[in-house]
Structure 1
Amino acid sequence: MIIKLTVFFKTITLLFSVYLSCFSLTANADEEQNIIVGAERLAQYLPKLTGKRVALVVNQTSTVFDKHLVDILLKENINIKMIFAPEHGFRGMRDAGEKFDSSIDTKTGIALVSLYGKNRKPSLSIMSELDVIIFDIQDVGVRFYTYISTMHYMMEAAADAGIEFIVLDRPNPNGAYIDGPVLEDEFRSFVGMHQIPLLHGLTVAELAQMIKGEHWLKSERNLALTVVKVKNYQRDLTYNLPIKPSPNLPNAHAVSLYPSLAFFEATPVSIGRGTQFPFEVIGHNEVNVGNFSFTPVSTPGAASKPKLMNKRLVGEDLRQVRSQGLDLSLLLRWQKAFAVKKITFFNSPTFMDKLAGTDKLRKAIISGQTAQQIKHSWQADLDIFKQKRRPYLLYPDIN
Structure 2
Amino acid sequence: MLPTGKLLILTALLTVLGLPLSCSGQTDQKTDAAASSESIRTGAEQMHLYLPELLGKRVGMIVNHTSVIGKTHLVDTLLSKGVKIKTIFAPEHGFRGQATDGETIANGRDPRSGVPIISLYGANRKPTKAQLDSLDVLVFDIQDVGTRFYTYISTMHYAMEACAEYKKPFIVLDRPNPNGRYVDGPVLNPKFRSFVGMHPVPILHGLTVGELARMINGEKWLEKPANTTTELLCPLTVVPVKNYTHQLPYTLPVAPSPNLPNQQAILLYPTLCLFEGTIVSVGRGTDKQFQVIGGPDNPKFGSYQFTPVDKPGAMNPPQEGKVCYGLDLSGIDASRQGLSLKYLIDFYNKAVDKDKFFLATNYIYKLYGNDQLPLQLKAGLNEAAIRKTWEPGLSEYKTKRKKYLIYPD
* Aligned equivalents of 1:205, 1:296: Cα separation in 2: 36
CA apart distance, 1:263: 1.2
Matched-pair identity in %: 51
Seen in structure 2, the aligned counterparts of structure 1 residues 291 and 214 have a Cα distance that, compared at 3 Å, is: same
Identify unmatched segments of 5+ residues in structure 1: 1-28
Seen in structure 2, the aligned counterparts of structure 1 residues 74 and 377 have a Cα distance that, compared at 3 Å, is: same
CA apart distance, 1:349: 5.0
* Aligned equivalents of 2:88, 2:102: Cα separation in 1: 20
Indicate the structure with greater helix content: 1
2:368 corresponds to: 356
2:8 corresponds to: none
* Aligned equivalents of 1:87, 1:183: Cα separation in 2: 21
Match of 1:198 among 203, 208, 211: 203
2:68 corresponds to: 63
CA apart distance, 1:379: 2.9
Matched, 1:120 2:132: no
Higher Rg: 1
CA apart distance, 1:303: 0.7
* Aligned equivalents of 2:119, 2:71: Cα separation in 1: 25
Seen in structure 2, the aligned counterparts of structure 1 residues 351 and 31 have a Cα distance that, compared at 3 Å, is: closer
CA apart distance, 1:149: 0.3
CA apart distance, 1:251: 0.7
Seen in structure 2, the aligned counterparts of structure 1 residues 31 and 385 have a Cα distance that, compared at 3 Å, is: closer
CA apart distance, 1:201: 0.3
* Aligned equivalents of 2:41, 2:201: Cα separation in 1: 27
RMSD over aligned Cα atoms: 1.5
Match of 2:54 among 49, 73, 77: 49
Partner amino acid for 2:374?
A: R
CA deviation string 1:58-94 (max 9, x = no partner): 0000001211000000001100000000000000000
Matched, 1:326 2:326: no
Q: Normalising to structure 1: TM-score of the pair?
A: 0.89
Does structure 1 retain, via aligned residues, the 8 Å contact 2:304–2:326?
A: yes
Q: Report the 3-state secondary structure (helix = DSSP H, G, I; strand = E; otherwise coil) of the residue aligned with 1:40.
A: coil
1:89 corresponds to: 94
Match of 2:388 among 370, 373, 376: 376
Matched, 1:272 2:283: yes
Residue-pair matches, total? 367
* Aligned equivalents of 2:354, 2:40: Cα separation in 1: 50
Seen in structure 2, the aligned counterparts of structure 1 residues 247 and 164 have a Cα distance that, compared at 3 Å, is: same
Seen in structure 2, the aligned counterparts of structure 1 residues 265 and 74 have a Cα distance that, compared at 3 Å, is: same
Matched, 1:80 2:77: no
Identify unmatched segments of 5+ residues in structure 2: 1-33, 225-229
Matched, 1:135 2:137: no
Does structure 1 retain, via aligned residues, the 8 Å contact 2:36–2:248?
A: no
2:3 corresponds to: none
Matched, 1:223 2:234: yes
CA apart distance, 1:312: 2.0
Q: Which moves more between the two structures, 307-316 or 367-376?
A: 307-316
1:347 corresponds to: 359
Does structure 1 retain, via aligned residues, the 8 Å contact 2:37–2:250?
A: no
1:298 corresponds to: 310
Seen in structure 2, the aligned counterparts of structure 1 residues 217 and 30 have a Cα distance that, compared at 3 Å, is: closer
Seen in structure 2, the aligned counterparts of structure 1 residues 125 and 347 have a Cα distance that, compared at 3 Å, is: same
Partner amino acid for 1:55?
A: G
CA apart distance, 1:222: 2.8
CA apart distance, 1:389: 1.3
Seen in structure 2, the aligned counterparts of structure 1 residues 126 and 393 have a Cα distance that, compared at 3 Å, is: same
Partner amino acid for 1:132?
A: V
* Aligned equivalents of 1:242, 1:179: Cα separation in 2: 25
- Bigger relative contact order, structure 1 or 2, given CA contacts below 8 A and separation 6+? 2
Q: Report the 3-state secondary structure (helix = DSSP H, G, I; strand = E; otherwise coil) of the residue aligned with 2:186.
A: strand
Does structure 1 retain, via aligned residues, the 8 Å contact 2:109–2:115?
A: yes
